[in-house]
Structure 1
């Protein structure tokens, strides 16, 4: 019986060590944090340009958008991952929380602008961002989190727990009509 008790004790000690161990959210040499004002100069725009058309976004316009999002922090959260050695941003993603009249007034999380720099892919950075945004959505009582992605990225998001559901529709508004 003593040997049995020792094995049980070792198992529970191991189990507790596993569940209480702090797993770093990003690999060594990287830091995940919220977007800040200085990130315009740390390569945010060129990073986003690896995802989509950015056009000419001036620093003053970036700061306007940043301040708007800061004032509406209950709606917007943008995360970045900075490469510690180069001090440049290498990944980013955003969560937008939409309050709904359905589901008892619960919220839906929308993940947007997920991109990892070409030279830093395959290190789990996107998964780290997606996990943190999912946890934030849970804290904000979202009943689901949705995103749009290219067919080629479906596998990545499936690894993060997402599944293909329904269809996306899009209406493109001419640039001349969309500018403020």
Structure 2
């Protein structure tokens, strides 16, 4: 069963507004992201009984000219199914993404979050730093 069939897109729609994505569109996107190799990693936690995806997050690896050509991990799209919250799946997926970033040699991991999620990420070991700015199209 593919991640599409396991409810990956449905789960992402709990994070943000997302237009429907057909299975062929999902497969094309997956193939495109796969070309990034170790620079784009998506972690998931599946329900051991149903096989459905309960939590997901991704980390993008950015190579820098500073820090001797070091790498920075950008955590994105962390989401836990509404029916599976409050059982530490969010912390488990974030810990997994941080571990991955360390494994590929990142010197830091950063993320942007909504103000109401600050405490959650502090519990995951993050500290507030800088200000996020956005320009939407």
CA RMSD of aligned residues (A): 1.1
1:105 match: secondary structure: coil
Tell me which protein shows more helix as a share of its residues. 1
Q: What is the aligned partner in structure 1 of residue 32 from structure 2?
A: 68
Compute the displacement of 1:66 (Å): 0.8
Residue 134 of structure 1: which of 98, 117, 122 is its match? 98
Q: What is the aligned partner in structure 1 of residue 111 from structure 2?
A: 147
Residue 55 of structure 2: which of 76, 86, 91 is its match? 91
- Return the index of the structure with the highest Cα Rg: 1
Q: Which one has more relative contact order, counting CA pairs under 8 Å at least 6 apart?
A: 2
Q: How many residues end up aligned between the 2 structures?
A: 137
Asked if residue 159 in structure 1 is aligned to residue 123 in structure 2, the reply is yes
Q: What is the aligned partner in structure 2 of residue 4 from structure 1?
A: none
Compute the displacement of 1:71 (Å): 2.2
2:113 match: secondary structure: coil
Matched ranges for 1:103-122 at <5 A? 103-122=67-86
1:162 match: secondary structure: coil
- 4+ runs of 1 displaced by more than 2 Å? none
Provide the TM-score with structure 2 as the length reference: 0.95
Compute the displacement of 1:45 (Å): 1.1
1:167 match: secondary structure: coil
Provide the TM-score with structure 1 as the length reference: 0.73
